[in-house]
A = this chain, B = another copy of it.
């Protein structure tokens, strides 16, 4: 089976990963975490919802936190399309594929399409949001980790190839992928529309579940500053992995779990990925044993993720045996 290639021109113009919708138990606690500690800006809030954006974002929100009676879950991941016409084309594309797609009323967004992708991820698309002032040089309002903007999502699924083929058919391009050595068995795919390595990433595992949403920070030192300020706010134990350096994707990273267990990544070092001659970078699974430096993430980083509300989770046929921190220490001893 060949590595999937992007369709060009795309059936509709998806421009970028846009926002994540998480349900949480306690909005006040979530605000203390995302706003007071990490430095996200509040665009709007009401009794049940908190709308956040990064400090360079002019769009209304890249994180939506909704109070939910049930346990915390991921609700949707959002993408932007360029025009209203693209929204209509998107609806047709999903319908042609036999996938759910319906208009929805969503506060602080233009006309919004709710749809489900080929591996069961609940998506939403819109072409506009109300704008808010960019805070990119409003230095008085910078604090915490100075999160700049949303960059990408990572989804766990037992059907990585199926997800890859689906998004390539929507015009997404592979920037990098991990395959079992000597095969085209796709284990991890990094897909993009906006011209850098990722908008959405799929990794093998029980799913569909949202592994994390990722936000860019300005400088390398902000990764450390994020850890320090988390510690100062009593959220030091919420650092789950890192600071470290990815092999695939290249980024410098730190992963945090929020008070409801949702995971987000702070990172930098993305590169530009816009040119047609840039073939996806292949990583053989065995290459991952050579981390640039540092320790592998602990087991929970591999196994835990936010289920999507109302979406059943399926186990993969074969369970992976990733190099967890626990396994690393045991093998080293």
What is A's interface to B at a CB cutoff of 8 Å? 8, 15-16, 56-59, 80, 82-83, 110, 127-131, 134, 136-140, 143, 148-149, 194-195, 218-221, 223-225, 227-233, 236-237, 239, 243, 245, 250, 252, 268-269, 271-272, 274-279, 290-295, 298, 325-326, 329, 333
Residues of B within 8 A of A219 (CB): 218-221
Contact A149 B269 (CB under 8 A): no
CB distance from A12 to the nearest CB of B (A): 12
Most chain B CB neighbours (cut-off 10 Å) among A231, A239, A298? A231
> A294 contacts which chain B residues (CB < 8 A)?
227, 236, 239
8 nearest A-B residue pairs (beta carbon) = A231-B292, A236-B293, A219-B219, A139-B232, A231-B293, A56-B271, A128-B277, A221-B221
* In the bound complex, CA of A130 to CA of B279 (Å): 11
Q: What are 19 sample pairs from A and B whose C-beta atoms fall under 8 A apart?
A: A134-B271, A136-B250, A136-B269, A136-B271, A137-B292, A139-B231, A139-B232, A140-B232, A148-B271, A194-B274, A219-B221, A220-B224, A221-B221, A227-B245, A228-B292, A228-B293, A231-B292, A236-B291, A239-B293
Q: How far is the CA of A275 from the CA of B272 in the complex (A)?
A: 18
Q: Which residue of B lies closest to A279 (CB)?
A: B131
Report B-chain residues with C-beta under 8 Å of the C-beta of A268. Answer: 218
Q: Are A276 and B83 in contact (CB under 8 A)?
A: yes
What's the Cα separation between A137 and B294 when bound, in Å? 15
| Bound-complex Cα distance A215 to B114 (A) | 40
Q: Is the CB of B82 within 8 A of A236?
A: no
| A250: B residues at CB distance < 8 A | 136-137
Among B58, B269, B278, B298, the residue within 8 A (CB) of A278 is: B58
User: Among the listed B218, B275, B295, which residue makes an inter-chain contact with A58, where contact means beta carbons less than 8 Å apart?
Assistant: B275
**CA gap between A128 and B274 in the complex, in Å:** 11
Inter-chain CA distance A325–B297, complex, in Å, is 12
Interface centre among A127, A131, A137, A233 (most CB of B within 10 A): A137
